[in-house]
Structure 1
Amino acid sequence: MKNLAILSLLIYTLTLNSCITKSSKPENNKQPNVVIIFLDDSGYNDFSPFGDLFIETPNVKTLAEEGVAFKNFYVPQAVCSASRAALLTGCYPERTKVFSAHAPRERGLDPKFPTLGEVFKAAGYKTGFFGKWHVGDQEETRPQNRGFDETCGLMYSNDMWQHHPENPEFWGKFPLQFWENGKIIIEDVDSSDQQYLTKWYTEHAVEFINRHKDEPFLLYVPHSMSHVPLFCSPEFKGKSGVGLYGDVITELDWSVGQINGALKANGLDENTIVVFSSDNGPWISYGNHAGTTPFREAKGTTFDGGTRSATIIKYPSRLQGNRESSKTLMTIDLLPTLCHLADVPLPESEIDGKDVWDIILGKEEAQNPHAYYAFTNDREFQAIMSGDGKWKLHLPHNYRTMSEIKGKDGMPGKYKQEHIDLSLFDMVNDPFETTNVLDQHPEEAEHLLQLADEHKQKFFTN
């Protein structure tokens, strides 16, 4: 009888503790909201807590304190259109055939590849897009026809206009149009309009949150900045004290604060997943009008300076904040992971990303479900990394690097071409890709070469 009484007391205590644990974070059956803030050409070093700051970014810092800062988060191709299509579809560029940066009026992403907007809208979400699209500029491929209920912004990069510093005659053939809900609001964006792009996107985003606070929503805010030409609102000019690029980053930080604040003001903070990242590394040919990265090379290459993006993920009701993670992830993993968290069906078409929630959650036993991640530049498959991020193999290829002619004040410098032979890098001990350890670790290189051959057979044989 005594043992039975002790056992009953133990069961009661465990049950009580379980109830207390659950009550500290009540179950919320409402589907989570999703907010994705995607910057353009920002540098890894531009924001706290990722780099040696020379720009104050208190709102991004707050977001990191409330979420998890991912130090090894990648894009599969370090150029605008390819990177954005990968984020929106969960697919490698070699699957969607969206490579590099598309020009105005190009068809872009084939509608047979569902976007995040289409996937979440089909599940009953309200969807909003405010920013730079750049994955299709024809009727059927613009955002209002790709799953987004409310839209505004540019269909392509803000330098594709008549004031392009190197090729104004070509880009001048295409007026830079500002769209809203499927209609052209500004036929030919000029400098006085460009300075308000960040502000306009932010105001639309905040208004969207305010109006849809009582229903689940997906909000995608891909900023035009800090892509050249650089512009910021008048109230931010000179505010950073470190030049125009700093002013632009300061306004982007303000934007993050406005969106994060709107979630809190509407009582949505706990049940909203926020992702903050960038489409690729900095466009360093623009010198003082570009961000900085500690890694090798930059935008337009498959080195980490181009493909590694400072990233924060926040989800207060499920994700312990104020943490850093060195786990390796990629933008293609966002769609399946967000679908899992929101209980939204995956698209019927095949995707390349995988659900990595256990890794984001920080479970010690969690293993990356990918055997590898692949990196391309334009249509060329150039590098492959082990799924755990320990090893990276560069296949032989040419790449661009800066010459002695540096860019300044909106005028680009000049690139020169270099070549890299088959090279293996130990990304744990050498994240800057300085020392080829191919001879020291032939078995790792052979394994990645085999995976690279399989990838080529899958995507590059036709």
Structure 2
Amino acid sequence: MNFKFNSFLIIFLSILIASCNIDSKKESHSIAKKESKKPNIVIIFLDDSGYADFNPFGQKDVPTPNVQKLAEEGTMFTNFHVPQAICSASRSALLTGCYPGRTKVFGAHGPKERGLETTFPTMGEVFKAGGYKTAIFGKWHCGDQPETRPDARGFDESCGLMYSNDMWKYHPENPKYWGKYPIQFWENGKVTIEDVGIPEQKNLTKWYTEHAVDFINRNNNSPFLLYVPHSMPHVPIFCSKEFEGRSGQGLYGDVTMELDWSVGEIMNALKKNGLEENTIVIFTSDNGPWAAYGNHAGKTPFREAKATSFEGGTRSACIIKYPDRL
């Protein structure tokens, strides 16, 4: 199925939520009966993942059974494009439904830079106003100032990094600059790890996933928006010790397998809590791979990669699952 621009997601979701409150006379229709409850929304948003990193989109060497299952049960969008092929711009578009040209969020924000202006409501604010529990566990990258952090932009719960995981003192090109701003790990508006290092990087995917599963378990009786923007597979890539060497295809393969595991854990939590049939699950990436990093970057069959306007940069794999509706 063809769709262009991830800005459509917030519009798509808003229409679905609004439809839940429409008084339909077609009560005999099975879909009308199921739509009496507001659907939950889960967005799994990878960082710099290549179009062909997972089995449904052409990956042959690394097993990704959970993403494969999601594709079989949902709908694959094979011509899905992001509005700008780089971190902050793509994320702000997802959060607001607005093009970067309107929000003036371009490129990738560094520490202390201007974030997404508060004049643009986020989906966290929109869904929270609609009675949803809201959470983000992962990479924010839309501003690290008090007024632009997740807890100020409509998210009840949050944890993760405020910007990219390569903006640290070990940056290969400019360690002195990035060393001035150590990566901090935030949780619910407070810094819980002052200086994220290699041990913490290895556990980011696991931590985000554990928080997501716990959130689902605690909110199984109320509608929720769960946004999981993973830090991986953005360089520098890391995986937990449980996945080291698992793929037989190097570190990038191991990282891919752990991300697939994360998808499986989230889907299993939905099923365990009886929420699978009334949950919209969206799986995609902010942009294409950072091809300059060779075997530490993902795969794409298209021209060029991240940070370009060619298809290799803007065209991302996308799967949406909404049982009996899509």
Is TM more than 0.5 here? yes
Q: Deviations over 1:82-108 (max 9, x none)?
A: 000000000000000000000012231
Which residue of the partner structure matches residue 120 of structure 1?
A: 127
8 Å Cα contact 2:205-2:262 kept in structure 1:
yes
8 Å Cα contact 2:27-2:33 kept in structure 1:
no
* Root mean square deviation, CA, Å: 1.5
Which residue of the partner structure matches residue 38 of structure 2?
A: 31
Which residue of the partner structure matches residue 433 of structure 1?
A: none
Q: Deviations over 1:337-358 (max 9, x none)?
A: xxxxxxxxxxxxxxxxxxxxxx
Unpaired stretches in structure 1, ≥5 consecutive residues? 1-18, 320-462
Higher strand share: 1
User: d(CA) in 2 for partners of 1:127 and 1:30?
Assistant: 17
Match of 2:158 among 151, 161, 175: 151
Which residue of the partner structure matches residue 437 of structure 1?
A: none
Which residue of the partner structure matches residue 313 of structure 2?
A: 306
Q: Return the offset for 1:286.
A: 0.3
User: d(CA) in 2 for partners of 1:261 and 1:163?
Assistant: 36
8 Å Cα contact 2:280-2:320 kept in structure 1:
yes
User: d(CA) in 1 for partners of 2:161 and 2:132?
Assistant: 23
8 Å Cα contact 2:237-2:255 kept in structure 1:
yes
Q: Deviations over 1:412-433 (max 9, x none)?
A: xxxxxxxxxxxxxxxxxxxxxx
Which residue of the partner structure matches residue 71 of structure 1?
A: 78
Q: Deviations over 1:20-53 (max 9, x none)?
A: 9735884331100000000000000101211142
* Count of residue pairs brought into register by the alignment: 302
User: d(CA) in 1 for partners of 2:176 and 2:93?
Assistant: 31
Amino acid at match of 1:270: E
8 Å Cα contact 1:48-1:61 kept in structure 2:
yes
8 Å Cα contact 1:45-1:53 kept in structure 2:
no
User: d(CA) in 1 for partners of 2:242 and 2:84?
Assistant: 34
Which residue of the partner structure matches residue 270 of structure 2?
A: 263
Q: Return the offset for 1:55.
A: 1.2
Which residue of the partner structure matches residue 351 of structure 1?
A: none
Structure with the bigger RCO (C-alpha within 8 Å, sep 6+) is 2
2:120 aligned with 1:93: no
Which residue of the partner structure matches residue 132 of structure 1?
A: 139
User: d(CA) in 2 for partners of 1:186 and 1:153?
Assistant: 10
Q: Return the offset for 1:242.
A: 0.2
**TM-score, length of structure 1 as denominator length:** 0.64
Match of 2:292 among 285, 298, 303: 285
8 Å Cα contact 1:271-1:317 kept in structure 2:
no
Unpaired stretches in structure 2, ≥5 consecutive residues? 1-25
User: d(CA) in 2 for partners of 1:170 and 1:24?
Assistant: 55
2:23 aligned with 1:46: no
> Could you tell me the percent identity over the aligned residues?
72
8 Å Cα contact 1:274-1:314 kept in structure 2:
yes
Amino acid at match of 1:27: K
User: d(CA) in 2 for partners of 1:317 and 1:231?
Assistant: 37
8 Å Cα contact 2:206-2:240 kept in structure 1:
yes
8 Å Cα contact 2:31-2:325 kept in structure 1:
no
User: d(CA) in 2 for partners of 1:262 and 1:151?
Assistant: 18
**TM-score, length of structure 2 as denominator length:** 0.90
Match of 2:215 among 208, 212, 216: 208
Q: Return the offset for 1:256.
A: 0.2
Match of 1:162 among 147, 155, 169: 169
User: d(CA) in 2 for partners of 1:208 and 1:174?
Assistant: 30
8 Å Cα contact 2:74-2:320 kept in structure 1:
yes
8 Å Cα contact 1:25-1:317 kept in structure 2:
no
Match of 1:59 among 41, 62, 66: 66
Which residue of the partner structure matches residue 238 of structure 1?
A: 245
3-state SS in 2 of match to 1:35: strand
User: d(CA) in 2 for partners of 1:72 and 1:232?
Assistant: 29
3-state SS in 2 of match to 1:86: helix
